[in-house]
Amino acid sequence: MVDKPFKTYPQLVEILINSHGLIVQDKQNAIELLKIIPYYDLVNGYKEHFMVNDQYVKGMTLEYILLYALFDKSFQNILFKYSVYIESRFKNSVAYAISNHFGVATNDYLDITKYTNSSNSNKRNKKIKLFNTLNDTWKGSNISQPTLHYVQTKDHVPPWILFRNISFSSIIDLFTFLPQNLKEEVASDMILINISSHSKVELMHIAITIVRIFRNIIAHNLKFITNTSNHYEIKSKAIRNHLLGTLLTQDDIANDRGKNDRFSMAISTVLLLGNEILLGQFAKDIKILQAQFASTEQELKVTNDYFKNIDIPFDIPERIAFYAQALNEKQI
């Protein structure tokens, strides 16, 4: 006998009602909902928020959880959308620095000797593996567009073309192997707040990695509401104090909010977008989502509960606007 035997949709609905104490007003509708949002996602995906000792809190309804799940996915979609802009901006920035210093000929800028060395064997092996991947991208057997077009019609593949065909993770790894002066150029281009070059490089690497980690969580439909970026943390006291009054409050700092949690993804997104138009649209998209879930008392409760549960301030759109204004006025 297996631990988790197959259950039909009607059986799953009965388990939700009889074993977990969930209020289901329309069983047939519940069956249709389970075809859209899997049973595992409904129960295990949000149990920290709605269950105690495997029982739903008194009065919890399937309809409420559905609204909560819809809001969750909508908010994640906004974060994912802007992570794509960040990836594009980051790839362009790295490509610009490399082209400017190493040239645009593939053999020149993919010369591994131009990048930093390490006495750590794991880092050396990682570097070798990365450059094997970069070279396979333009002269391997499975070349994709637009790199393929350049291989077939040009005498070289410039960085800004090749980097379109490498992963977010690979371009971050390449950044870590850049010489220090190139790292500082990229970090200064991406991080616009007034901190030291060394701090910008450190923050650049942490913030871009946090965005990548959470984007992977979102893309693979993993548990966004409780995940963290592990040891990648925005923990520098100087940097956190620098963001005081825009993205962070004294209460956030006192309670370590925004270090490696969901809020850190939002903060990292703001720090890396840079562009005032994108920042304004980012804030607007969140504000629109909040407004869309404000027609009924239940929707308002979903919205407030969601931000409270994932520890992101409800006024995050206003904070982004404060940050953008301070950045524009060169006050941070």
Query: What pLDDT does residue 107 have?
Result: 95
User: Measured between alpha carbons, how far is 243 from 307 in angstroms, rounded to an integer?
Assistant: 20
Rounded to 5°, angle at Cα 270 from 180 and 84: 80
Establish if 206 belongs to a structural domain: yes
Q: Is residue 144 part of a domain?
A: yes
Mean pLDDT of the chain: 95
Asked if residue 82 and residue 45 are part of one domain, the reply reads no
In this structure, are 49 and 141 located in the same domain? no
The length of the chain, given as a count of residues: 332
Q: Quick check: 2 pLDDT over 80?
A: no
Q: Is residue 1 part of a domain?
A: no
265-302 pLDDT, tens digit per residue, is: 999 999 999 889 999 999 999 999 999 999 999 999 99
Spatial distance between the Cα atoms of 91 and 94, rounded to a whole number of angstroms:
5
Separation CA 65–CA 308 (nearest Å): 15
Instruction: Kindly state whether residue 4 falls inside one of the protein's structural domains.
Output: no
Q: 198 and 165 share a domain? A: yes
Whether residue 281 sits in one domain with residue 146: yes
pLDDT of the residue at 274: 87
Question: With bands split at pLDDT 50, 70 and 90, how would you rate the model's confidence at 3?
Answer: confident
Indicate if 132 and 30 belong to the same structural domain: no
Could you list the residue range(s) of the whole structural domain that residue 141 is in? 70-328
**Count: domains in the chain:** 2
Give CA–CA dist 162/144, Å, rounded.
Answer: 10
44 pLDDT exceeds 90? no
- What local confidence, expressed as pLDDT, does residue 177 receive? 98
Residue 1 has pLDDT above 80, yes or no: no
Pair (51, 79) in one structural domain: no
Residue 56: pLDDT band with limits 50, 70, 90: very high
The predicted structure's pLDDT at residue 109: 98
**Residue 137 forms part of a structural domain:** yes
Tokens of 243: 């963001």
Q: What is the mean pLDDT of residues 38-57?
A: 89
Per-residue pLDDT tens over the stretch 169-211: 999 999 999 999 999 999 999 999 999 999 999 999 999 999 9
Percent of the residues in the chain that have a pLDDT greater than 90, as a whole number: 89
Tokens of 92: 């362009």
Q: Of 298, 292, 290, 279, which is closest to residue 314 (Cα–Cα)?
A: 290
Domain boundary among 37, 60, 83: 60
Among 157, 158, 236, which residue's Cα sits nearest to residue 191?
Answer: 236
149 and 203, same domain (yes or no): yes
Q: What is the mean pLDDT of residues 227-248?
A: 95
65 in a domain, yes or no?
no
Q: Is 3 within a domain?
A: no
Q: Is the peptide bond before 179 cis (omega within 30 degrees of 0)?
A: no
Both 278 and 323 in one domain: the answer is: yes
Q: Are residues 264 and 295 in the same domain?
A: yes
23 and 49 inside one domain: yes
Residue 2 lies in a domain: no
d(CA 134, CA 114): 15
Same domain for 219 and 267, yes or no, is yes
Exposure b/e, 144-180, CB count within 10 A at least 16 = b: eeebeebbeeeebbbbbbbbbbbebebbbbbbbbbee
pLDDT value at residue 4:
81
Q: What is the pTM of this model?
A: 0.94
Share of the chain above pLDDT 70, in %: 100
Same domain flag for 54 and 116: no
CA atoms 281, 283, 286, 292: torsion sign: negative
Look at residue 39 and tell me whether its pLDDT is greater than 90: no
Confidence at residue 331, expressed as pLDDT on a 0 to 100 scale: 85
Model confidence at 40, pLDDT cuts 50, 70, 90, reads: confident
